[in-house]
Structure 1
Amino acid sequence: MNPHNPNRHNLGTVISFEFRRTVLKPKFWLISLSVPLLIGVVVGLIALSGQTTAQRVESQDTASVTFTYTDASGLIDPTVARTAGGTPVSDAAAARAAVVAGTSQCHIDYPKDPLSQPIDVQGKDLGLFDSSRYNAVATTVFTTSIEHKIGNPTLAKLAVNPPDVQLATFADGHATAGIAGVIAPGIFLVLFYMAVLMLGNQMLNVTLEEKENRVTEMILTTMNPTTLIVGKVLALVGIGIVQGLVVGIPASIVFGLLSGSMGLPEASAGVPTLGSIPIDAGAVAIGFCLFLFSFLMFTGLLVAIGAVMPSAKEAGNTFGVVVMSMFIPLYAGSLLVSDPHGVVSQIFTFFPLTAPVSTLLRNATGGLYWWEAAIALAILAVCGWVFLMVGVRLFRTGSISYGSRVKIGRALGWTTGR
C-alpha cells in the first residue's frame, strides 16, 4: 500500500492550483487594488469638497453686497444694515422692480412676524452657488441686529446657536464607541458584498468549468469529486481572505488618516482607536467570523447551483436570485437597527440566505447579542456544509450531463427514473 494518502496530495494540488491560477492573474490585483484606490479617491474628494465649501462660505461672508431693505418688524438695526451695505427704502414694490430691471443688486423684505413669516430676498442672479450670499447677508444682518438689541453677545449667540454637546455612553461599566464604532465592524459587511459580487462567477464555475470543457470524466478517473470541490472551495476562501486584506487594510488606513476631516464624533475616553475610528475588539472579531462563515455558506450554495446547471449562462440567472436575497435585508435595514430583537429581525437573522447581511449589520450597529451571533454562526456553518455536500453529490452523479440540467431529486436518490 502507498503510505501516503493520495486524496490529501490531490487536495493540496487542487488548492494550490486554483489559488495560484487566480492570484497570479494581473486582473485579480487590478480589480482588488482599484477598490481601496477608489475609496481613497472618494474620501479625498469628500474632504476636498468640505474644504472648498468652507472657503466658499467664507468668501461669501466677506464679499460685499449692496442691497435695499424694508423692515416691518422693527428689529433691524440701521447701523448694522448700513455697515453690511444696506439702504432702507419705503417702497418695497419699487425696490423689487429695480432688482428685476437690473438697476439694483438685491432687496430684502424683513416681515412683521419673523417667527411665522419668511424673510423675502430678491437679487441679481450670481450663479447657482454665489447667489446664496444674499441669504447669508440677510441672515447676518438680522442676527447681528438681535444681538445688539439683547445687549449681551454671548446670550444672543446662545439663543441662535445652542452649545455643542459631547456625549459619552457606557455599558456594563465600560465606555462604548458611539456611532463612529459602526465603521470598523461595518467594513466586514462591505467586504462580504464585494467578495460575493467579485468572486460569485468563480464560485459558480467551481463545477461548471470542467463540465463545459467536457473533461469531467478524465478528472474523476484520478480524483475523488469531494476532494476536487473541497479543494476548489478552500482555494476560493483563501482568495477571498487575500482580497479582503487587500481591500480592508488600505481602506482602514485611509479612513484612519482622513477620519479627522470627515466630521466623525470623537470616541469616548478609554475606547481604543485607529486615528479617530474607535475599535471594538469583540465586534471586530465577531464580524470577521460572520464574514468568513457567510462566505463559506454562499460558496457552498453557488457550488450546488453550478453542479445542477449545464452552462454558466443558465447558472447566471439563478445567481441573480441569490444576490437579490443578499440585498433584501438592506431594505429592512432601519427595522434591523431600530428594533434588532424584534420578530422580523430574528427571522432575518436566522434564515440562512438573509443571515449574513442581517447579522453583519446588527453586529456593526451594536444590536447583536453574543448568543445570537453563536447561533447564526452555527446555522451558517451547517448550511454551508450541507450545500457543499449536496453540490458534491450533484456533481458526482450529474457531472456528465453536459447538455441538460441535472435532476436534483434523481441525483440525490429521492426519485427513480430510467
Structure 2
Amino acid sequence: MAQHNLGTVISFEFFRTITRRRFWLGTLAFPAAIAVILVLTVISNITTNSTADAQKSAQFSIAYTDDSGLITDQAAAMFGAHLVSDRQQGIDGVKEGTTDAYFAFPADTATETVQVYAADQGIFENGKYSAVAQEMISQSVLQKIGSSQLATMAQHAATINVTTFQGATEAGGLNSAIAPLLFMLVFYGLIMLLAGQMVNSTLEEKENRVTEMILTTLKPTTLITGKVITLFMIGLLQALVFALPVVIGYVFFRDALNLPALDLSHLEFDPVRMIAGFLILLGGFSLYTTTLVAVGAAMPTAKEAGSFIGVMMALIFVPFYVVGLVVSDPHAVIVEIFTYFPFTAPTTALLRNGLGTLGIIESIIVIAILFICAAAMLRLAVSLFQYGSISYTKKVPLRSILSRKGG
C-alpha cells in the first residue's frame, strides 16, 4: 500500500509539473538563452578581431617627425602622413583639430618609445593610433631591409606611448573610466543584495492574508510607492554599511594590513559622465525595484516568484557575454539593442558610459527610457497588488489587469 501511495504521489507531482506551460517556458528559456549568447559571443569575437585588424589600415590625418631617418616617403604616403618641422607643431595641430594624430619617432625605435599624440576617440578606438604607427615602422623596415639590425626590428614591435586630447585638453584614458564604472559595480551590488527583499516586500502581506486589511486604510499607490522608496533607503544604508569597514580599514589599519597606498590624483572625474552614470544607476535601480515589486504582487508565494528573480538576475549579466563587442564596436546593432532595451540598458549603458562611448544624446535617451519604464512598472505593480489582494492562492493574470486598465 505504501509503495502504491508513493507511486501515486510521484506520478501526480511529475505530470502536474510537466503539464504546466510555465514549466516548459522556464525549462526551454535557459537553453534558448545559452544558444543566443553563444551566437552573440561568436559575432562578438569575429567583430573584435576584424576591428583590430582594420585599425592597422585605418585612415586619418597624420603628422610626424622622424629622428631615426627610418620612415620612408613611400610608407608615409601609404598612410597619408606628412612631415612637420618639430614636435610642438605636431602637438599643436592635434590640439587645434587640424590633424588627427602626430607621431614622434625617436632616434632609435628599437630601444626608445614612440610618442603618439592624437584626438581622443574612445579607449578602444584609440588603439588605431599605435597600430598605424607600428605599421609605418614595419613598412619602412620592409622597404629598407638588408641588414641584420633591420631584420631584428622587423620582428619586434616598437614601444609606443599614446597621449590623446579632447580639444586642447589631455584626455584621461583609463583613468577617466574608473570613476564612472564604479556606478556599474554599485548597481550590481544593490540588485544582488536586494532582489529577494524587493519581491518579498509585497509577498509578505499576501502570504500573511493581511492585504485587504491594509488596503482599507491605505491607497495601493501610497503603499507601493512607500515600499519602493523604502527599498531605495535600505539600498543606500546597505551600501554605506558595506563601504564603511573598507574605508576604516584602509584609513586606520592600512600598514597593519599591508595594503598598498592608493594614488587617486591620476583619476579623472568627468562631470558629464559622472552625472550620466548616477542617473542611469538611479533609473536602472528604479526599474528593477518596481519590476520585482510587481512580481511579488502578482505571485501567490515566494516559491512561484523565485523563477522570475532568476530571469531578472540573468538579464543584468547578459551584456557581459558580448563585452568584447561593447568595447570594440559600441555602435553595433546588438550593442544598440542592449543599450536601449530597458532590462539590459543599465549594464550596457553604464559600461559604455565608463568607456566614453555613450554620447550625451544616447545617455539622455537611455535615462528617459529607464525612468518612463520604471513609472509604468510602478503603476502596474499598484494594479497587481490591488487586484491580487483577493487572489491569495493563484497568480494574478496580467492580461485581465491590462484589460481592466484599458477599459
The reply to whether TM is greater than 0.5 is yes
Matched, 1:189 2:184: yes
Q: Of the candidates 188, 204, 219, which is equivalent to residue 199 of structure 2?
A: 204
Identify the residue that residue 346 of structure 2 maps to in structure 1.
356
Contact 1:304–1:390 (Cα < 8 Å) also in 2: yes
In structure 2, the partner of 1:336 is 326
Deviation at 1:408, TM superposition (A): 1.4
C-alpha separation between the residues in 1 aligned to 2:338 and 2:348?
6
Query: What TM-score do you get using the length of structure 2 for normalisation?
Result: 0.56
Report what 1:213 is aligned to: 208
Unaligned stretches of 5+ residues in structure 1: 1-157, 265-272
Deviations 1:100-159 (A, max 9, x none): xxxxxxxxxxxxxxxxxxxxxxxxxxxxxxxxxxxxxxxxxxxxxxxxxxxxxxxxxx99
- What is the aligned partner in structure 1 of residue 224 from structure 2? 229
Residue of structure 2 equivalent to 1:284: 274
Q: Which of 289, 293, 308 does residue 299 from structure 1 map onto? A: 289
* Equivalent AA in structure 2 for residue 408 of structure 1: L
Q: State the one-letter code of the partner of 1:184.
A: A
- Please tell me whether the aligned partners of residues 409 and 415 of structure 1 are also in contact (alpha carbons under 8 angstroms): no
Equivalenced residue count is 251
Change (3 A) 1:369 1:254: farther
Q: Provide the C-alpha distance between the structure 1 equivalents of 2:276 and 2:392, rounded to a whole number of angstroms.
A: 42
Q: CA deviation at 1:351?
A: 0.5
Q: 1:254–1:330: structure 2 CA closer, same or farther, 3 Å change rule?
A: farther
Among residues 359, 363, 370, which one is paired with 2:360 in the alignment?
A: 370
Partner of 1:94: none
What CA distance in whole angstroms lies between the structure 1 residues aligned with 2:155 and 2:335?
Answer: 41
* Distance (whole Å) between structure 1 residues aligned to residue 161 and residue 351 of structure 2: 26
Candidates 314, 327, 345, aligned match of 1:324: 314
Q: Does the C-alpha gap of structure 1 residues 334 and 301 become closer, same or farther in structure 2, counting only changes over 3 Å?
A: same
- How far apart, in 2, do the equivalents of 1:376 and 1:252 lie? 32
- TM-aligned CA distance change 1:409 to 1:159, over 3 Å: closer
Q: What is the CA-CA distance between 1:251 and the residue it aligns to?
A: 6.2
- What letter is aligned with 1:192? F
Alignment equivalent of 2:374, drawn from 380, 384, 388: 384
Q: Normalised by the size of structure 1, how large is the TM-score?
A: 0.54
Aligned to 1:243: 238
Equivalent residue number for residue 152 of structure 1? none
Distance 2:284 2:181 in 1: 14
CA deviations on 1:318-349 (whole Å, 9 max, x unpaired) are 11011111111011111111111222211111
1:393 is aligned, of 365, 373, 383, to 383
State the partner residue of 1:403.
393
Following the alignment from structure 1 to structure 2, what is the Cα–Cα distance between the partners of residues 177 and 330? 24
Instruction: Report the aligned-residue RMSD.
Output: 3.4
Are 2:264 and 1:274 equivalent residues in the alignment?
A: yes
Aligned partners of 1:383 and 1:348: how far apart in 2?
Answer: 15
1:224 counterpart letter in structure 2: K
Give the drift of 1:194: 0.8
Question: Partners of 1:286 and 1:249 in 2: how far apart?
Answer: 25
Please name the residue that 2:170 is paired with.
175
CA distance in 1, matches of 2:368, 2:210: 36
Q: CA deviation at 1:350?
A: 0.5
Distance 2:311 2:392 in 1: 23
Structure 2 letter corresponding to 1:335: L
